[in-house]
Each structure stands twice: as C-alpha cells, then as structure tokens.
Amino acid sequence: MWRRFRQRGSLVLAVLAVVLGLLTVPPASAADNPYQRGPDPTPAGIAAATGPFATAQATVAKGNGFGGGIVYYPTDTSQGTFGAIAIAPGYGTEWRWYGWLGPRLASFGFVVLGIETNSLSDYADARADQLLAALDWLVASSPVRDRVDRNRLAVGGHSMGGGGALVAGTRRPSLMTAVGMAPYVPNGNLSGIKIPTVLFGGQTDTTVTPSYLASAYATIPATTQRAYPEIANEGHGFAAGGGGGNSGAFARVMMVWLKVFMDADTRYSSFLCPSLSNTSGISKYQASCPLGPGGTTPPPTDTSRLVNANAGRCLDVPSQSQTNGTQVALWDCNGGTNQQWTTTSGKQLQVYGTKCLGADGTSAGAKAVIGDCGGGAAQQWNLDAGGTITNVQSGLCLDATGAGTANGTRVILWTCNHGTNQQWTRS
C-alpha cells in the first residue's frame, strides 16, 4: 500500500509540475528577444571588469583588406551567435595598446576584432575601408564565423580609428552602431550618419577637445539615436588606458551601449536613460533619450514654456518685443505669447511664429537673442536628456547669467557645466 501511495503521489507531483510549467510564462523581454545574452544586469555586474562569459582569442594574419589583429570571443556555444564589433586603433598606434578592451567586451557576450591598420599613418577613409573589410572577413572566412551573427555588426575606433568608424557607419547603414573614442571627425560634420552613434570624449583631452566633440555631436541628425559621455580627468589616451584610471568608466558605458544597440537588449536601456545610472568617472553626459529599439527620437513639435530649474522662471522675450536682437531673460511664468516656444523639425526654438532664438556669437557670454528665422546653426538647438539646451553652432549651453533667479536675469550662452541654471523643463 505504501508503495502504491508513493507512486500515486509521484504521479500527482508530476502532473502538477507539468501544469505549473504550462502556466509559467517567461518574461516578455526574454521571449521576444532572441539576441539577449547573459543574466539580468545589475549595477555591480555592469561595473565589473569581467562579464559572465569565459573568453578566448586568436591572432589574425595580415590580409583580406586589413592589417591583421586579434579576435576575442566567448567560448560558450550554448546561447547561439553573438554580435560582433571591429575596432581600429589611433593614428600611429597598434592594437596592442587597446588589447585590454577586447577580452573585457567579449566577456559580456560580444565577438571583438581589434584590427591592425595597413599603415600606421592611414587616414579615416582608409581605416573605414579596413574596418568594413574586417567585418566581411569575420562573418565569411574567420575561424569564429559560426559564432557571429552577420546581421548584428558594429564598428568602433580611437582617434583616427574613431574617424574611420564614423565614416564606415555612414557608408554602411546596416550596421547596428558606430562607437567613436575621442574620434577625429572628418570635416567636423556628422550630418550623414543615420545609425546609433556614441562619441566618447576625454575631459582634459587637448587633441580632440571637448568643444570639438560637442560641435561634432551637435551635427548628428535629430532622428539618429546618439550619446556623448565625457570621461572625467582623462586625456586623449583613455581608450588605451588599460582599464586604469577612469578608462574603466568608458568601457562600462560602451558595453551597455553595445548591449542596447547590438543585442536590442532593453534590460540595459535604463542604465543609459534618462541619465546614466552610474556616473562614476563621467564628467558629462548627453543623450537623445529614449535609447534602444524603437527609440528613434524625432524632434518634438510641441509648443510650451521653458522653465529654468534654478529660478523657477520662464524663458521670456522682454516686453513682448519682436525686435531682432532682443536678448531673452527670465520672468515669472504667465502664459504670454512671448513665453511660448515651439520646437521645429529644423531644431529651432520659435516664438511668435516668425522669430527664432539664436546666439549673437560663438564664445562663452554670447547673448541669446531673437531674430528672423533663417535656418542657420546659430538658431539651432539640441534639447538634451539632462535638461540642457545646447547651441548647434557653438556647443555652448543656454544659461541664466550668474545663476541669477530674479525677474529680468539675462540669458546667455556659456560652457556647459550641468548647473541648474543651465537646466530647463518644458511646461
């Protein structure tokens, strides 16, 4: 009898297990995203120097359109293929200076091909050719081609190599993202890039200066998902920093960016938007939130007041003037037409339907004034995720003079510093 009872109990448990299994539905993100790799992210896991995957590497001989290099990859074959990124070094340097980055990214579930260039003095166009050739070889002929998803490819690079990555991203719009690390920007203009783009800068970089990158960032189309993290207290060589100093912060943000755009892994999106979840080692951050699948951010077209976070007062055209050159100021919010600002598809802030907010210069301290709408860069603005409003021409931020809070405080352009007097909310 006891044996029959145990058999019957086992049968009941088995049936219950089946029923419970049928009733247990996997999380939507796991069910809907076949590219998701690795466990759920945590702040500690993201900050770690090593991810959940064991890795291996192989030397790549020169040929196939590029100068060889090293490929790093997860050894796990149970989770399917992985997204892949080819990365180019800077002018006059070799991949060995960046070798720390390959295994670190691979350990989080990516195939990484760090290339050598055909010549140490190759310029951006040549490096773009080599990055694309490297990706073509990686998916078609490499010894790890069976581990690579040919539909999830990206490019990256440092300095001149970053310029190559940006050119490659413009040439091949099927890429998932382009990563520029203190990149040279050909012609200083990125208006032709349509794929998600992140530009990493160094706060103390005197080669690719923060102002240079801010100006280039401002030329990225408003419909392109983008971000600009600035690495605190780092100069031009942070990408070759071996993970020391704040170069680890750069690697951390880069990994999250790749998870979002190469793996379409929305589990990581909140670590980038509405602001960075971990700002350690980061001195500045701009992003076109939301970021990720379906996160394309066309310019807003609403009409609203712009309220200064420090003063609690509105951006106002004094005395409802419509005279060109009138400097705007702070004033009690009152709903007047001189406080109603319309964002246009051309990145303008329009008032009265015919006048646009502009800058009367490109240096810190330039006045923010109204004038006839002309479409020039002086009248174009980026409304950033952190609440700053950045002038496209100069890269400077809309600023309440001297952090003033009183009615009549003049509004100028000033070096972006994330102060509350540079933060504006739409009301």
Tell me what percent of the residues of the chain surpass a pLDDT of 90: 70
Do 282 and 361 sit in the same domain of this protein?
A: no
Q: Which residue of the set 122, 129, 205, 263 is catalytic?
A: 205
pLDDT at 64: 94
DSSP state, 63?
Answer: B
Single pTM value for the model: 0.66
Tell me what percent of the residues of the chain surpass a pLDDT of 70: 89
Under DSSP, is residue 115 helix (H, G, I), strand (E, B) or coil? strand
pLDDT at 296: 42
pLDDT at 245: 79
Q: Is residue 415 domain-resident? A: yes
Side-chain-facing half-sphere of 214: CA atoms under 13 Å: 27
Is 205 catalytic? The answer is yes
Mean pLDDT, to the nearest integer, of 47-66? 95
Q: Which residue of the set 122, 236, 269, 394 is catalytic?
A: 236
pLDDT at 352: 82
Do 90 and 231 sit in the same domain of this protein?
A: yes
Do 261 and 380 sit in the same domain of this protein?
A: no
Do 339 and 222 sit in the same domain of this protein?
A: no
Q: Give the sign of the dihedral formed by CA 137, CA 116, CA 186, CA 247.
A: positive
Mean pLDDT, to the nearest integer, of 291-314? 74
Sheet of 368-372, strands arranged across: 303-304, 341-343, 349-351, 355-359, 368-372
pLDDT at 373: 83
Instruction: State how far the Cα of 37 lies from the Cα of 255, in Å rounded to an integer.
Output: 13
Do 210 and 349 sit in the same domain of this protein?
A: no
8 band by pLDDT with thresholds 50, 70 and 90: very low
Q: What is the pLDDT of residues 100-123, one digit of tens each?
A: 999 999 999 999 999 999 999 999
| Three-state SS letters, 344-411 | CCCCCEEECCCEEEEECCCCCCCEEEEEECCCCHHHCEEECCCCCEEECCCCCEEEEHHHCCCCCCEE
Indicate which CATH number applies to the domain containing 212: 3.40.50.1820
Q: Is residue 205 domain-resident? A: yes
Q: What is the pLDDT of residues 243-278, one digit of tens each?
A: 677 888 999 999 999 999 999 999 999 999 988 989
Structure tokens at 273: 């938007």
**CB 151 within 8 Å of CB 81:** no
List CB contacts of 209: < 8 A, sequence separation 6 or more: none
Instruction: State how far the Cα of 269 lies from the Cα of 292, in Å rounded to an integer.
Output: 6
Q: Is residue 153 domain-resident? A: yes
User: How, if at all, do strands 349-351 and 306-308 pair?
Assistant: unpaired
Instruction: State how far the Cα of 252 lies from the Cα of 263, in Å rounded to an integer.
Output: 16
Q: Is residue 21 domain-resident? A: no
pLDDT at 14: 42
Do 307 and 396 sit in the same domain of this protein?
A: yes
345 band by pLDDT with thresholds 50, 70 and 90: low
Q: What is the pLDDT of residues 208-236, one digit of tens each?
A: 999 999 899 989 998 899 999 999 999 99
Min mean pLDDT across 16-20, 103-107, 336-340 is at 16-20
**pLDDT above 90 (res 342):** no
The domain boundary, picked from 252, 287, 322, lies at 287
Q: Which structural domain range is residue 316 located in? A: 303-426
pLDDT at 384: 76
Do 364 and 397 sit in the same domain of this protein?
A: yes
Q: Give the sign of the dihedral formed by CA 82, CA 163, CA 392, CA 394.
A: positive
Under DSSP, is residue 72 helix (H, G, I), strand (E, B) or coil? strand
**pLDDT above 50 (res 7):** no
Do 269 and 352 sit in the same domain of this protein?
A: no
**pLDDT above 80 (res 139):** yes
The Cα angle at residue 153 between residues 169 and 119, in degrees rounded to 5: 60
- Tokens 């006891």 map to which residue? 2
Q: Which residue of the set 107, 142, 159, 247 is catalytic?
A: 159
Instruction: State how far the Cα of 170 lies from the Cα of 193, in Å rounded to an integer.
Output: 5
Strongest mean pLDDT among 8-17, 242-251, 291-300 = 242-251
**CB 410 within 8 Å of CB 316:** no
Total of domains in the chain: 2
Helix pair angle (124-140, 160-171), 10° resolution: 60
**CB 257 within 8 Å of CB 249:** no
**DSSP-assigned states of every residue in 293-319:** TT---PPP--EE-EEETTT--EEE-GG
Indicate which CATH number applies to the domain containing 389: 2.80.10.50
**CB 344 within 8 Å of CB 331:** no
Structure tokens at 368: 């923010």
Do 331 and 277 sit in the same domain of this protein?
A: no
Mean pLDDT of the chain: 87
Q: Is residue 23 domain-resident? A: no
Q: Give the sign of the dihedral formed by CA 114, CA 116, CA 120, CA 122.
A: negative
Do 412 and 331 sit in the same domain of this protein?
A: yes
Q: Is residue 158 domain-resident? A: yes
Mean pLDDT, to the nearest integer, of 168-181? 95
Q: Is residue 13 domain-resident? A: no
Instruction: State how far the Cα of 222 lies from the Cα of 345, in Å rounded to an integer.
Output: 8
Number of residues that make up the chain: 427
**pLDDT above 80 (res 299):** no
Do 281 and 366 sit in the same domain of this protein?
A: no
10 band by pLDDT with thresholds 50, 70 and 90: very low
Nearest CA among 143, 144, 65, 57 for reference residue 96: 57
382 band by pLDDT with thresholds 50, 70 and 90: confident
Instruction: State how far the Cα of 154 lies from the Cα of 169, in Å rounded to an integer.
Output: 8
Do 307 and 270 sit in the same domain of this protein?
A: no
The domain boundary, picked from 220, 252, 287, lies at 287
**pLDDT above 80 (res 90):** yes
Q: Is residue 15 domain-resident? A: no
